[in-house]
Chains A and B, each alone.
Chain A
Amino acid sequence: MADNKIYWSGLEELDRTPEFEQLESQEFPAERPVDEFLADDRLQRANTGRRDFLKFMGFSVTAATLAACETPVVKSIPYTNKPEEITPGVANYYASTYYDGHDYVDVLVKTREGRPIFVKSNTETGYGRVNARVNASVLGLYDSARLQAPQLNGEATDWTTLDGAVQKGLSGAGRKVLLTGTVMSPSHSRAIAALAEATGVEHVQCDSISYGAIVEAAEKDFGRRVFPSYDFANAKTVVSLNADFLGTWGDTVWYTTEWAKTRRPEDGAMSVLHAFESGMSLTGSNADRRTRVKPSQQGNVAAALLNEINGQGHVAGLDEAILAGVKAAAADLKAAGANGLVVAGDNDVATQCIVNAINVALGALGTTVNINEKAALHQGDDAAFATLVEDMKAGRVSALIVDGTNPSYHAVDAAAFNAGLDKVAFSVSTALFADETASRCTAIAPNHHWLEAWNDLQIDPERIDIAQPTIQPLYDTRHATESLLAWAGQTVDAYTFLRRTHNAAYSAEAMYTDQDWNTGVHNGFLAVATPEKVAAAYSGSALAGALAAVKGRKGGGFELDLYRKVTMGDGQQAGNPMLQETPDPITKTTWDNYVTMARADMEAMGLNTYIAEKDPASVVKVTVNGTSIELPAFPQPGQLPGTVGIALGYGRGAGNEAIGKAAYQVGEGGDHLADAEGNLVPIGKNAFGLAGSVEDLPAFSAYDVTVQATGETHPLACTQLHHTIMGRDSVVKETTLDGYLAEADAKRGDASWNRVIGLNVHDDINGDGEINALDKKAAGEFDLWHEHAVDGVGHRWGMAIDLTSCIGCSACVTACHIENNVPVVGKDEVRRHRDMHWMRIDRYYASDWSKERGAEEGLGVISTYAKMEEPGANPQTVHMPMMCQHCNHAPCETVCPVAATTHSNEGVNQMTYNRCIGTRYCANNCPFKVRRFNWFHYPGYDKFQNLNPAQDAIQRMVLNPDVVVRSRGVMEKCSLCVQRTQGAKLEAKKAGTPLEDGSAITACAEACPTNAITFGDLNDTSSEVRATYDNNRTYHALEEIGVQPNVAYLTKVRNTPNA
């Protein structure tokens, strides 16, 4: 039965309301048809369409979101008047001259946006190349410890008050003395003369490192009080008697460059270098024959040499080994004749007189030794200084002006000088820092940094070198010349005064119109009339006395040689963290001073001879004439048993002077260490006090010292723990000159000293009918990889490093450090083997043992390897610069999970810091171990607050804006100065010319004083690096692993006779 139920969905339906009926009839209501909607012209009037509305909406939301995030505000202020020559992002170079009392170099200063950031050689003047000390000196400009205003009685003052005080001080009775280092500036000398005339001030020159004996010997023998100029480029045989001319001695930068010119095996001949020394110096490490001699025997070695050459000398107190060395040296000297050269480093008049006699006997006068007419370098007068100290102590000196020298630190008897200084009524210093001397003076009139000042300097009689400011003075400082003139009562600015030195008619109106001057400033020097050369006549009268003086010399239990390190020099840059962190080229130790000792002596005394992270050095006490010094002992291969060496230049700021944060020891947390009295602890100890004086001349050696173990230990931070090459011929290849010449025409890969490395295969390669260890296939024939298409396509950057020329001076290390903003990490991190150097110099000593010798003597392989880890007693040394080899088949590139390190189409292995996640897999897989990991946030972490330039508000101005400062947790390494190659490419592109060879050059290649590093485009068939690559001495390190580097080495050739 049907049930007629009515279903309704709402009361409206039930009631059938009109609204419902209307709706029911329109199933699809179209109250506003689309056409009608679109036809509404009000829509057209609205200027926001639907899509625009959505766009605006999206934009507003994004903008609101972004605005909510806090972004760091970086304010950049535009130039009000933009200097014509400054374009932001483009570097300017200015010619200048560096002189610090020892090193004298013509330089180019790179500035960016008005900030000097890099110092490189001005190769166009032909005078010297920068070394590590010079190119690191740019950091000193930004040292926040520099004096920011003149000081009077320890308080900041203004210049007028200061000048008043000085003039009052100079008006007193008694001696008034101006104490300087060697003044090489004609203008400064003129100012000194003006001051002397106005106030009666006497001028005394005193060098931190005295060369008084050489000057005095020259006076005795030649009648001229000058430091001779040595022409190493003319020398065929050089004999160095403890003169580290490649590292620290004399006019080092010039000697190094010139000497290197004589060391090219491709020329068919090389000069030969004999070294006689007790400890291992940089020169000794590069010597073809090195003979170990005690300091007390140096004079007799000279006498024996003379005896060999012309029979005038004598043979006394020398053993067989030394005599053999003397005979060999004499034979080479005789062969070289007038092209022989003997230099002696001892500050001992007798030795220097004998050396003069040898050079004269060789006929070297005028070829390799020139006795200048005019004094230039090293004019310090130690006798005058001694008299001054006596007078000061006796109260006879009423006023003392100390200008550019720091005797409270480097005087042999600093205590006497200080006692005297306390008695001087008025004293003023022109130091940049309140250093040891300045902080004891009544007033300080801070000088400009050399990069802030005009200067003229003259080392060559034919030339005046100009130093020009590259930045406005950072602080309220004043040119020392101007200060002297002010005290002389002349109100003239240093620049005008300097111009008038060279052109008396100079006026301010003619400032820019003197073309000679403008050219001179541009080029870095002014040529002056060549003075007539008058040959020096040798008298020889002092020889007999000298021979007698040296004959009876005898040493005691231990003998001491005080040397200088290539990095620290005389210590004036002790506050420079980059120099402190640059490893000593010989010991590879950073941030410290130590006593170098022979291993045998150390073992006899029970001292630790293995120094590493957890193995601190044993501290010894060295006593000289009652003065003692306690320093860690360092086992130095090549050190003669019975001798010890201590570097000068350490222990700066022992009285808490403000000479820079990095000059003091920091603890593991990064805070400065303090001693019991709360004083900061200097790095190392000051050894000047041990020098002793002989007739007022500092001796820098002592013949009878005692060395005692103290039982204490001190950690040392060495960058290299292992010192021998372990017979790994594929890392370092070397030969002798004779060996080289015998196969000079061999094809690359054929000569016995550069044979292609073969790998064993299961194939009868040599065709002797059996498969054995003799079946080898050349390493280059194995390849698993696709070639990178870099050969002949575009640029392919490459580098060649000549191990023959490399002397290990480390100029490249500091240049790279500064150019690439490489972090300074401090002693504690270096001790943990975490130095960050992109460029390092591996130093290997030869061992007396080899696998062959082990086999001959029936020693097992384990014992042989253990013996091979020990350097020989007087080892030969190899310096091998090592940086990223930019392998074409780079092991690092394949293992990175995120492709942060890749190969460029120009053959460069690139590191993308932004992409790096820090697995360190690449570093592990690098056969050369050149990759460096950012273990901490170096620019911000407290541990580095007192040493990393990036953490100092002022010092960070030295950072290169072209190179990013890396953050924590990323890998970094040598980029072959990609910022420079890119820059050069851009320049070439703008000029519309092909890239010229030499226009792109890496910082290391540019800094190398011996041209050991060649860089360029391997695809440019005319480039220098291409030619070097094709040299038959060229090889790739670790060729057998097939990584195909773009960096090549040239076999080292020593000029030693075949044994």
Chain B
Amino acid sequence: MQQEAAIREPLILGNKSYKDITDDVVGPIQGAAPLGWKVMITISSMVAFYGVGCILYLIGTGIGVWGLNKTVGWAWDITNFVWWVGIGHAGTLISAVLLLFRQKWRMAINRSAEAMTIFAVIMAAVFPGIHMGRIWVSYWVLPLPNQFGSLWVNFNSPLLWDVFAISTYFSVSLVFWYIGLIPDFATIRDRMTKPLQKKIYSILSFGWSGRAKNWTRFEEVSLVLAGIATPLVFSVHSIVSMDFATSVIPGWHTTIFPPYFVSGAVFSGFAMVQTLLLIMRKAMHLENYIHTKHVEYMNIVIIVTGSIVGVAYLTELFISWYSGVEYESYAFINRFSGPYSMSYWAMMTCNVISPQLFWIKKIRRSLVATFILSIVVNIGMWFERYVIILTSLHRDYVPSSWSEFNATSIDVGVFIGTLGIFFTLFLLFARFFPVLALNELKTILKSSGEEQKRLQADAKSNTNA
């Protein structure tokens, strides 16, 4: 068994046995739904229904129900798309990259983070669909053989790469997540007493028997998938950023975008993980599994990526001046001093200044501060996309076409609606799925559990004595 230094903070608190872990994770699934869950799912599903209503109205009437115009062809739609895709980055990063780097602390959070990823990517995928004028022919973006003559998709278009990138990312994330779930579903299956539930979980667990062969294959597949998923973490947002980077619009046409977008995505993804987990650990009494140390680790990721994002912002400003191109320099001057400068400064404050507070250890380890700042970061990241998309578009080359954008209630409704759908899905996940990778956690109990650490310490003091 892997040994770990006693002075490392334990990852699992309390004197947990394997059975305790199982009980802690499976218990809530077996028990009745708590009142708080019922209240939350009622609210979020109502919001979700409202959002679906807005989307149906949009599809039935036309894109004109949004506030877009002849100059600003994208605003909230693509902002929301990029925002959700960004959020969808943390899960795979945690499960794949951290797996490859053998970071044990990921085990407490990877399951929920991956679920979050899946749901966020689903929400993200909604927007490129509904933002189309004719969603009923959206399948034309797929390079399908067709009877329209030799019609083919345009492989030059970054929007097409987007389709491939997002769909690949979604499929790989889904498979990865599901593979991880199989042993845990089996555990639930084994504990279920009601026949219907037992049946369902037994189907979900794909006949997992827990034999060594199963585990070997599980580990192999996980490693292979981690290998596949890792480049995807970087490619997806790089490609999303190319929607902008390959254009001619000042403020979009920027080679810095791929790394800048990826770090921004990780930044917002971790913030969303924080937001969700801090609620979940409280609601589901997982304080022993997700605690200050985990939060601190994630906050460190947030400082790093937030700082990268900050540097990117400043680089953009510098280059706009250094390029000597009139349009480029105006685009950035307009960003921070024009009609939408409020958004710019909101972005700067939320994304560059606020994460720097995490340099202070007290704040970094404070759950309340983390919760607040994680929300602030996600607000900031929404504004970042809004600033990039809107301020670049609304005043580009020809001043006669300079315009403004005013969001309508449907713009807002669709966005809020996707939040509703997202939280509904996440609440369903929290209720029926193992929210912690319980079988994986058991593998580190003996190396990183608090009890183990105590025993190690005792042993050490005994030898010293």
Chain B residue, CB-CB nearest to A588: B400
Nearest chain A CB to B303's CB is how many angstroms away?
Answer: 31
What's the Cα separation between A505 and B459 when bound, in Å? 134
Taking CB atoms and an 8 Å cut-off, the chain A residues in 731-760 that contact chain B are 731, 759-760
Contact of A921 among B69, B159, B395 (CB under 8 A): B159
Q: Is A23 an interface residue (CB 8 A)?
A: no
Q: Is A186 an interface residue (CB 8 A)?
A: no
Q: Find out whether the CB atom of B248 lies under 8 angstroms from the CB atom of A891.
A: yes
Contacts of B137 in A (CB 8 A): 917
- Known contacts A898-B141, A919-B132, A936-B64; decide if A927 and B70 are in contact (CB<8 Å): no
Q: Find out whether the CB atom of B153 lies under 8 angstroms from the CB atom of A934.
A: no
Contacts of B325 in A (CB 8 A): 759-760, 1040
- Known contacts A724-B399, A929-B398; decide if A936 and B132 are in contact (CB<8 Å): no
Per-residue CB contact flags for chain A residues 878-907 toward chain B (1 = under 8 Å, else 0) read 001010000000010011111100000000
Contacts of B151 in A (CB 8 A): 898-899, 915
What's the Cα separation between A928 and B401 when bound, in Å? 8
Q: Find out whether the CB atom of A937 lies under 8 angstroms from the CB atom of B62.
A: yes
Contact of A933 among B70, B141, B324 (CB under 8 A): B70
Q: Find out whether the CB atom of A927 lies under 8 angstroms from the CB atom of B403.
A: no
Q: Find out whether the CB atom of B159 lies under 8 angstroms from the CB atom of A760.
A: no
**What is the predominant secondary structure among interface residues of chain A facing chain B?**
loop
Contacts of A894 in B (CB 8 A): 154, 156-157, 246
Contacts of B159 in A (CB 8 A): 895-897, 919, 921
Q: Find out whether the CB atom of A969 lies under 8 angstroms from the CB atom of B73.
A: no
* Cross-chain pairs A/B with CB under 8 angstroms, 26 sampled: A722-B399, A731-B398, A760-B324, A832-B67, A862-B333, A862-B337, A882-B398, A894-B246, A895-B246, A897-B153, A897-B159, A898-B154, A917-B137, A917-B141, A920-B63, A920-B74, A920-B133, A924-B74, A924-B249, A933-B133, A935-B63, A935-B64, A968-B62, A968-B133, A971-B133, A1043-B248
Q: Is B9 an interface residue (CB 8 A)?
A: no
What's the Cα separation between A866 and B338 when bound, in Å? 9
What's the Cα separation between A934 and B156 when bound, in Å? 25
Q: Find out whether the CB atom of B132 lies under 8 angstroms from the CB atom of A969.
A: yes
Taking CB atoms and an 8 Å cut-off, the chain A residues in 350-382 that contact chain B are none
Contacts of B400 in A (CB 8 A): 720, 722, 840, 842-844, 880, 882
Q: Find out whether the CB atom of B70 lies under 8 angstroms from the CB atom of A932.
A: yes
Q: Find out whether the CB atom of B140 lies under 8 angstroms from the CB atom of A915.
A: yes
Contacts of B134 in A (CB 8 A): 916-918, 968-970
Q: Find out whether the CB atom of A921 lies under 8 angstroms from the CB atom of B73.
A: yes
Q: Find out whether the CB atom of B70 lies under 8 angstroms from the CB atom of A925.
A: no
Q: Is B68 an interface residue (CB 8 A)?
A: yes
Q: Is B259 an interface residue (CB 8 A)?
A: no
Contacts of A724 in B (CB 8 A): 399
Contacts of A927 in B (CB 8 A): 248-249, 396-398
Q: Find out whether the CB atom of A969 lies under 8 angstroms from the CB atom of B157.
A: no
Q: Find out whether the CB atom of A833 lies under 8 angstroms from the CB atom of B71.
A: yes
What's the Cα separation between A494 and B273 when bound, in Å? 85
- Known contacts A897-B154, A899-B153, A923-B73; decide if A722 and B63 are in contact (CB<8 Å): no
Chain B residue, CB-CB nearest to A922: B73
- 5 smallest beta-carbon distances between A and B, as pairs: A918-B133, A969-B133, A935-B64, A842-B400, A920-B73
Chain A residue, CB-CB nearest to B395: A722
Per-residue CB contact flags for chain B residues 139-157 toward chain A (1 = under 8 Å, else 0) read 0110000000001111011
Number of interface residues of A (CB under 8 A): 68
Contacts of A77 in B (CB 8 A): none
Contact of B393 among A866, A924, A971 (CB under 8 A): A924
What's the Cα separation between A929 and B128 when bound, in Å? 22
Contacts of A941 in B (CB 8 A): 61-62
What's the Cα separation between A17 and B249 when bound, in Å? 92
Q: Is B158 an interface residue (CB 8 A)?
A: yes
Q: Is B323 an interface residue (CB 8 A)?
A: yes
What's the Cα separation between A934 and B137 when bound, in Å? 16
Chain B residue, CB-CB nearest to A759: B325
Contacts of B323 in A (CB 8 A): 760
- Known contacts A731-B397, A760-B324; decide if A917 and B248 are in contact (CB<8 Å): no
Chain A residue, CB-CB nearest to B77: A920
Chain A residue, CB-CB nearest to B131: A919
Per-residue CB contact flags for chain B residues 21-53 toward chain A (1 = under 8 Å, else 0) read 000000000000000000000000000000000
Nearest chain A CB to B393's CB is how many angstroms away?
Answer: 6
Chain A residue, CB-CB nearest to B63: A935
Contact of A899 among B71, B131, B152, B248 (CB under 8 A): B152
Nearest chain A CB to B366's CB is how many angstroms away?
Answer: 38
Q: Is B247 an interface residue (CB 8 A)?
A: yes
Taking CB atoms and an 8 Å cut-off, the chain A residues in 857-875 that contact chain B are 861-862, 865-866
Chain B residue, CB-CB nearest to A851: B326
Nearest chain A CB to B423's CB is how many angstroms away?
Answer: 28
Q: Is B160 an interface residue (CB 8 A)?
A: yes
Contacts of B57 in A (CB 8 A): none
Q: Find out whether the CB atom of B398 lies under 8 angstroms from the CB atom of A834.
A: no
Instruction: Known pairs A924-B249, A970-B134; list 20 more (Cβ under 8 Å).
Output: A721-B402, A722-B399, A834-B69, A896-B157, A897-B153, A897-B154, A898-B141, A920-B63, A920-B68, A920-B133, A925-B248, A927-B398, A929-B396, A933-B68, A933-B70, A933-B73, A933-B133, A935-B64, A936-B64, A1041-B397
Contacts of B67 in A (CB 8 A): 832
What's the Cα separation between A856 and B224 when bound, in Å? 65
Q: Is A613 an interface residue (CB 8 A)?
A: yes
Contacts of A721 in B (CB 8 A): 402-404
What's the Cα separation between A969 and B63 when bound, in Å? 7
Contacts of B257 in A (CB 8 A): none
Contacts of A928 in B (CB 8 A): 397-398, 401
Per-residue CB contact flags for chain A residues 934-947 toward chain B (1 = under 8 Å, else 0) read 11110001000000
Nearest chain B CB to A776's CB is how many angstroms away?
Answer: 9
Contact of A835 among B70, B157, B334 (CB under 8 A): B70
Per-residue CB contact flags for chain A residues 822-853 toward chain B (1 = under 8 Å, else 0) read 00000001001111000010111000000000
Contacts of B406 in A (CB 8 A): 613-614, 832
Chain B residue, CB-CB nearest to A894: B156
Per-residue CB contact flags for chain B residues 256-287 toward chain A (1 = under 8 Å, else 0) read 00000000000000000000000000000000
Chain A residue, CB-CB nearest to B151: A915
Taking CB atoms and an 8 Å cut-off, the chain B residues in 157-207 that contact chain A are 157-160, 163
Q: Find out whether the CB atom of B71 lies under 8 angstroms from the CB atom of A917.
A: no
- Known contacts A862-B337, A897-B157, A915-B140; decide if A725 and B399 are in contact (CB<8 Å): yes
Q: Is B349 an interface residue (CB 8 A)?
A: no
Chain B residue, CB-CB nearest to A1042: B248
- Known contacts A862-B337, A924-B247, A969-B63; decide if A842 and B157 are in contact (CB<8 Å): no
Q: Is B426 an interface residue (CB 8 A)?
A: no
Contact of B62 among A899, A916, A969 (CB under 8 A): A969
What's the Cα separation between A963 and B140 when bound, in Å? 24
Q: Is A1038 an interface residue (CB 8 A)?
A: yes
What's the Cα separation between A969 and B62 when bound, in Å? 7
Contacts of B209 in A (CB 8 A): none
Nearest chain A CB to B433's CB is how many angstroms away?
Answer: 35
Contacts of A895 in B (CB 8 A): 156-159, 246-247
Chain B residue, CB-CB nearest to A925: B247
Q: Is A82 an interface residue (CB 8 A)?
A: no
Q: Is A194 an interface residue (CB 8 A)?
A: no
Per-residue CB contact flags for chain B residues 109-153 toward chain A (1 = under 8 Å, else 0) read 000000000000000000010011110011011000000000111
Q: Find out whether the CB atom of A929 lies under 8 angstroms from the CB atom of B132.
A: no
Contacts of A933 in B (CB 8 A): 63, 68, 70, 73, 133
Nearest chain B CB to A923's CB is how many angstroms away?
Answer: 4
Nearest chain A CB to B370's CB is how many angstroms away?
Answer: 36
Taking CB atoms and an 8 Å cut-off, the chain B residues in 337-377 that contact chain A are 337
Contacts of A1038 in B (CB 8 A): 397-398
Q: Is B415 an interface residue (CB 8 A)?
A: no
What's the Cα separation between A731 and B326 when bound, in Å? 12
Q: Is B330 an interface residue (CB 8 A)?
A: yes
Chain B residue, CB-CB nearest to A901: B154
Nearest chain A CB to B435's CB is how many angstroms away?
Answer: 37
